[in-house]
Structure 1
Amino acid sequence: MTVQVLRAGSRFVTHGDGVVSRHSFSFGQHYDPGNVGFGLLVVANDDVVPAAGDGYPEHPHRDVEVVTWVLSGALSHRDTAGHSGLVVPGVVQRMSAGRGVRHSEVAAEGPLRFVQMWVPPDAAGREPSYGQADVTAGLAGGGLVPVVSGLRRHANDVPVSLGQRAAAMHVGRLAAGATVTLPAAPFVHVYVARGSVEMESAGRLDDGDAVRLTDEGGRLVRPVAAAELVVWEMHTAAAP
């Protein structure tokens, strides 16, 4: 059982054309052989796009599940499989690249800040697919809510399905004074998307901090002030 805290200031940073991206793991020109992923999570980027119209022009993906969570602004998505969507705070988006797809992601309204995360699918070569859902109402209760999942226990009630049967992403908008319990799994990744929290055995975590838990479950998290968490529950690790 391990608890690894990673501070926001320790993340790799890429300054692109109209985008500033902060990476939890090795990405692009940033490579650390000891930090290429955690569990099934191989990318976790926190991106800021200051101006509308900027972002990522059309680019390819293959055999990856791409999950996007917007914190402010609005993101416009289009892909070559014919899918499009406007993603705003409270809306979760999943693109399954399958056997290959190209897509673009630009700020429809800026400043745009979003967290984008990638996990491998449990089978390669599928048809590309797309899903999104407004989960605002579900988050109003203040608990951790599964918003994207491939886990069997979520098969009938998760807003957006995931092409990976061993993973789920939960989001929590925590009001001051609330307490939530993290899911139990071999790998749990907690990202503080905004605000500050106190986590049992990890201490205070602020905006941009992350915690990687292995073989853990049941840890309590309490917001210091209003906070938003993105939590991945993973029951296996990505193949090397």
Structure 2
Amino acid sequence: MLTLRRSADRGYANHGWLKSFHSFSFAEYYDPVHMGFGALRVINEDRVAAGAGFGTHSHRDMEILSYVLAGGLAHRDSMGNGSVLKPGDVQRMSAGRGVMHSEYNGSQDDAVHFLQIWLQPNVTGIAPGYEEKHFDAAGKRGRLQMIANADGSEGAMLVHQDVRLYAGLFDDAEAAHLSLAIGRRAYVHLVRGLIKVNGQTLEAGDAAMLVNESDVHITEGREAEVLVFDLA
């Protein structure tokens, strides 16, 4: 079964300095039907104004991924990490038994646009951890590139959950196919552009939730960037 989640149906918050779409219940946005999908708990599409950001705050027992689309995202944390993430960069922070961090727009002139993704871990109380990697456009062009999984194989980032996260860029005749093992599900989030997933058209911000399906077919992209979560 394939169920579509349209961009316009997401939660939305406008704080002036921050404009955020919520795929699942988050902060003041509450929808009991959309509390998550398997271990996937949060996909927030955030745009942070120049010079603004999230002050130091804490997290615990959550796998947090930041996927940068435009601009620069400045990160600092209590583990001693500090960097400015650019488009193509992906950051993984395992909050474990507790971590403090801040996220700011690294520019005084331009907005930063990124996705913040939370996965519920399959182990709690661990030491916090950090990792960042760059995944260039060539590696994602016309294919689904592994960017996170449970063992760090295939050049992916390691997350403490039975999930495989892929990213891809598709135009025209470019296509990809992902087989799903029995009992697994998939969540396909279209970051931008236009694409078809198993024959269904998705526009930017839309998602497709697949349960009891054997395959994910990505076709007919138009300047499309897509994330695919293969989940237990």
TM-score by length of structure 1 reads 0.90
The amino acid that maps onto 2:172 is A
- Moved segments of 4+, more than 3 Å: none
Give 1:176 shift.
2.1
Contact 2:17–2:52 (CA<8 Å) still a contact in 1? Answer: yes
The amino acid that maps onto 2:86 is V
Aligned residue in 1 for 2:169: 173
Within the candidate set 194, 198, 206, 2:203 is matched to 206
In the TM superposition, what whole-angstrom CA distance separates every residue of 1:65-98 from its partner, at most 9, and x where no partner exists?
0011111111011111111222111111100001
Report SS of the residue matched to 2:8: helix
Contact 1:183–1:233 (CA<8 Å) still a contact in 2? Answer: no
Aligned residue in 2 for 1:238: none
Contact 1:138–1:145 (CA<8 Å) still a contact in 2? Answer: no
In the TM superposition, what whole-angstrom CA distance separates every residue of 1:88-115 from its partner, at most 9, and x where no partner exists?
1111110000100111111113321111
Cα distance between partner residues in 2 of 1:128 and 1:91: 20
Aligned residue in 2 for 1:80: 78
Cα distance between partner residues in 2 of 1:131 and 1:92: 8
Give 1:12 shift.
0.4
Q: Structure 1 residues 135, 149: CA separation in 2 closer, same or farther (over 3 Å shift)? A: same
Report SS of the residue matched to 1:36: coil
Q: Which sections of structure 2, spanning at least 5 residues, go unmatched?
A: none
Q: Could you tell which deviates more after superposition, 37-46 or 173-182?
A: 173-182
Aligned length: 228
1:1-240 to structure 2, matched below 5 A, reads 2-51=1-50, 53-109=51-107, 110-136=110-136, 139-150=139-150, 155-164=152-161, 166-185=162-181, 186-201=184-199, 203-235=200-232
Cα distance between partner residues in 2 of 1:138 and 1:161: 22
Q: Could you tell which deviates more after superposition, 109-118 or 176-185?
A: 176-185
TM-score by length of structure 2 reads 0.93
Q: Structure 1 residues 89, 208: CA separation in 2 closer, same or farther (over 3 Å shift)? A: same
In the TM superposition, what whole-angstrom CA distance separates every residue of 1:172-194 from its partner, at most 9, and x where no partner exists?
01132101113415221111101
Percent identity for Structure 1 against Structure 2: 33
Q: Structure 1 residues 140, 221: CA separation in 2 closer, same or farther (over 3 Å shift)? A: closer
Contact 1:139–1:171 (CA<8 Å) still a contact in 2? Answer: no
